[in-house]
Chains A and B, each alone.
Chain A
């Protein structure tokens, strides 16, 4: 998985609770991305980062925030989780805004 780890790998939480997912890379790539994958939908971009403290929104960013204080870490926060945010979340990295390499994923269930 190209030196990418995600934690936790599985999480079950309740509606209204905050949740933070972590992506860690050892490749020193500049770009990092958060996607969600749901049945019937392709992978959809939530947020991405093009450098430390530089982030931008993707097509499904509502209800999510991100932070990147170090090159190697990109955090995704659900401020108040809802059942519609039950999904599999993937982190990806790339050296240029081109080919992306994906992590193993985090399965999140919001009850």
Chain B
């Protein structure tokens, strides 16, 4: 069964304290792995798509990496405005369904 697990559930960082969020997945043939950011009361905002092991993508203080079993979202020198819930999703090669994890709630303290 296709499955996505994110850890930790919640993370508190001091401003400037770098860290990583984990997304472990099992899927019968990966079409893509997706990272989203979600602010309270809003819809998920697209960040990255990764397609194959070894691929990396960057945007400002965020970098996403992918292996055959997991993905990491690295946050370098975070700022308070990076506080949000970060969601991971996978899509199998067959079918059009996405499977989402429950997210990591990140709080960056000034």
Contact A90 B96, beta carbon cutoff 8 Å: no
Closest Cβ of chain A to B69, distance in Å, is: 18
For B41, the closest partner residue in chain A by CB is A105
Measured in the bound complex, the distance between the Cα atoms of B100 and A96 in whole Å is 18
Closest Cβ of chain A to B15, distance in Å, is: 28
Contact A99 B102, beta carbon cutoff 8 Å: no
Indicate with 1 or 0, residue by residue over A40-59, a CB within 8 angstroms of chain B CB atoms. Answer: 11111100101000001011
A residues 15-43 in Cβ contact with B at 8 Å: 31, 33, 40-43
With A98-B32, A99-B34 known to touch, is A43 a contact of B42 (CB < 8 Å)?
A: no
Contact B43 A42, beta carbon cutoff 8 Å: no
Measured in the bound complex, the distance between the Cα atoms of B97 and A90 in whole Å is 15
Does B44 sit at the interface, judged by CB under 8 A?
yes
Contact B46 A99, beta carbon cutoff 8 Å: yes
Closest Cβ of chain B to A90, distance in Å, is: 5
Closest Cβ of chain B to A27, distance in Å, is: 13
Pick the residue among B43, B49, B99, B103 that contacts A99 (CB under 8 A): B49
B residues 4-53 in Cβ contact with A at 8 Å: 4, 31-32, 34, 36, 41-46, 49
Pick the residue among B32, B97, B102 that contacts A58 (CB under 8 A): B97
Closest Cβ of chain B to A84, distance in Å, is: 19
Q: Can you show 15 pairs from A to B with CB atoms below 8 A apart?
A: A1-B43, A4-B43, A31-B96, A42-B103, A43-B44, A43-B98, A43-B100, A45-B97, A48-B96, A50-B96, A98-B32, A100-B98, A104-B43, A105-B41, A105-B42
- For B46, the chain A residues whose CB sits under 8 A away are 99-102
Given A43-B44, A99-B34; 6 other pairs, CB 8 A cutoff: A1-B43, A4-B43, A42-B99, A42-B101, A43-B100, A98-B91
- For A33, the chain B residues whose CB sits under 8 A away are 98
- For A50, the chain B residues whose CB sits under 8 A away are 96
Measured in the bound complex, the distance between the Cα atoms of B96 and A45 in whole Å is 10
